[in-house]
Amino acid sequence: MSHKPTITDSLQFPADSKVPRALFGLGAAGIIASAVGYFFNADQFFASYLVSFTFFTGIGIAALMMVMLHHITRSSWGVLVRRISEVFSANMMIWGIFLIPVLLGIHNLYHWSHEDAVMADKLLQGKSAYLNTPFFIGRQVLYFVIWGFLGYKLHKASVEMDETGDWGITTHLRKLSAPGILLLALSLTFASFDWLMSVDPHWFSTMFGVYFFAICFQAFWPVMILMVFFLQGQGLLKKTIQQVHIYDLGAWFFAFTVFYAYIAFSQFLLIYYANIPEETLWYYHRLEGSWKYIAYSLLVFRFAVPFLVLMNREAKHRRSVLAFISIVVLVIHFAEIYWIVMPVFSEHGIHFNWMDITTFLGLGGMFFGLFFNKFQKHKMVPVNDPKLDDCLSKSYHQ
């Protein structure tokens, strides 16, 4: 007779925890400091803000994608950690508020937003049907409506299943996720064009959407790993999330490290082989001066190091190794977004500014403050999910 697994850990994040308040305090301090910086150098403020905004928004988008993949594939391996992804994605609608500075800084960030520049440039005139301020703003609103709606509905239905135990909700979640993942893929692609590719409006890459997806999804797994380690460091879910579940997170981390390398190299190879000036110039600017050091660092720290370390089965069982590699990849993830955006504003090389730090801390504090504020309102695990027992017993490995 088989023994049905049970959860003995507390499933509620402490309501009196000071973590959300501390994070909101950090976020407020960072945003206030950045706002002061705006009055000294508005262009730098908006550029730094765009980098940090893209960093955290990409994590939320990847979390939403992962929730829908779970439901579509009816997977059991990640049920115990799915609520983390659900909460990240559920905050996407309110996170849209932090897009406002990007919209206010359109003229500082995007050359195509200046009518005189468009009038003097035939290439920009050809793109003006897409790259114009009203349509740009409208697209941003649409993106966050899509992401916010999907994140809210998926989280709400999952929590409802906690309370009612109605397994029929899983059918609703799958039906929502199937078209939802297509909408997310399309909106993510166009968002990457808008936020990052159009910073340099003469450049284009048909692979940029999947490239942006790859960098966001690779960065998502370190966040998940570090979040689980943080919760267990607080004495939460220590018996529930076991070593085999940590291993699975490490395996996904490894898989998307390979996927990232494949996509990034493919984009570079296609542009290098075609040798079209409008395309190669983008890489040329990022492979000269001090910018080339970030490019080389991407090869080493975003692919080679995590690939060689995580290839080892034992490494995915060692928490200290996973934590270290996770931090390394998140640092280089920020550096890559910085490398995509900043050469437009600093052609002569890397020029770090204190607002790069304050905007990151400000948005990071708010992003994770919102997470824990919502996380503590419901159970940390979807307790009535029909796949929970399989996940607890690890039968999917047998």
Above pLDDT 90, what percent of the chain?
Answer: 86
Q: Which amino acid is at 298?
A: L
Token duo for residue 314:
């034992």
- The enclosing H or E element of 77 equals none
Token duo for residue 102:
């990007």
Per-residue pLDDT band for 3 (boundaries 50, 70, 90) equals low
Angle between helices 42-73 and 169-195 in degrees, nearest 10: 150
Cα→Cα distances 197→191, 380, 385, Å: 9, 37, 40
Cα→Cα distances 396→94, 316, 334, 384, Å: 36, 18, 35, 18
pLDDT for res 7: 79
Bridge partners (DSSP) listed for residue 379: 12
Nearest to 55 by CA among 330, 318, 295, 298: 330
pLDDT for res 5: 67
The residue with greater pLDDT, 263 or 349, is 263
pLDDT for res 108: 96
Q: How far apart are CA 123 and CA 134, in angstroms?
A: 19
What tens digit of pLDDT does each residue of 79-99 get?
999 999 999 999 999 999 999
What tens digit of pLDDT does each residue of 190-206 get?
999 999 999 999 999 99
Q: How far apart are CA 48 and CA 354, in angstroms?
A: 9
Mean pLDDT, all residues of the chain: 94
Write down the residue that tokens 């959407």 correspond to: 209
Q: How far apart are CA 224 and CA 172, in angstroms?
A: 26
Q: Is 213 helix (H, G, I), strand (E, B) or coil?
A: helix
Name the DSSP class of 350. Answer: -
Angle between helices 79-90 and 243-274 in degrees, nearest 10: 60
Q: Is the pLDDT of residue 39 over 90?
A: yes
pLDDT for res 392: 84
Nearest to 298 by CA among 306, 310, 289: 306
Q: How far apart are CA 190 and CA 192, in angstroms?
A: 5
Q: How far apart are CA 44 and CA 239, in angstroms?
A: 47
Cα-Cα-Cα-Cα torsion 83, 3, 171, 62, nearest 10 degrees, comes to: 30
- The enclosing H or E element of 121 equals none
What is the chain's length? 398
pTM, two decimal places? 0.95
pLDDT for res 11: 85
Contact (Cβ atoms closer than 8 angstroms) between residue 276 and residue 200:
no
- The enclosing H or E element of 39 equals none
Token duo for residue 179:
């078209």
Q: Is the pLDDT of residue 1 over 60?
A: no
Contact (Cβ atoms closer than 8 angstroms) between residue 395 and residue 387:
no
Token duo for residue 347:
């052609």
pLDDT for res 397: 46
Q: Is 379 helix (H, G, I), strand (E, B) or coil?
A: strand
Domain boundaries, the chain: 19-378
- Sign of the alpha-carbon torsion through 286, 287, 291, 292: positive
Angle between helices 79-90 and 133-164 in degrees, nearest 10: 140
Bridge partners (DSSP) listed for residue 118: none
Name the DSSP class of 203. Answer: -
Token duo for residue 142:
């649409």
pLDDT for res 10: 82
Per-residue pLDDT band for 394 (boundaries 50, 70, 90) equals low
* Mean pLDDT score, 147-171: 94
Q: How far apart are CA 121 and CA 118, in angstroms?
A: 5
The residue with greater pLDDT, 167 or 371, is 371
What tens digit of pLDDT does each residue of 269-315 get?
999 999 888 889 999 999 999 999 999 999 999 999 999 999 999 99
Q: How far apart are CA 379 and CA 67, in angstroms?
A: 16
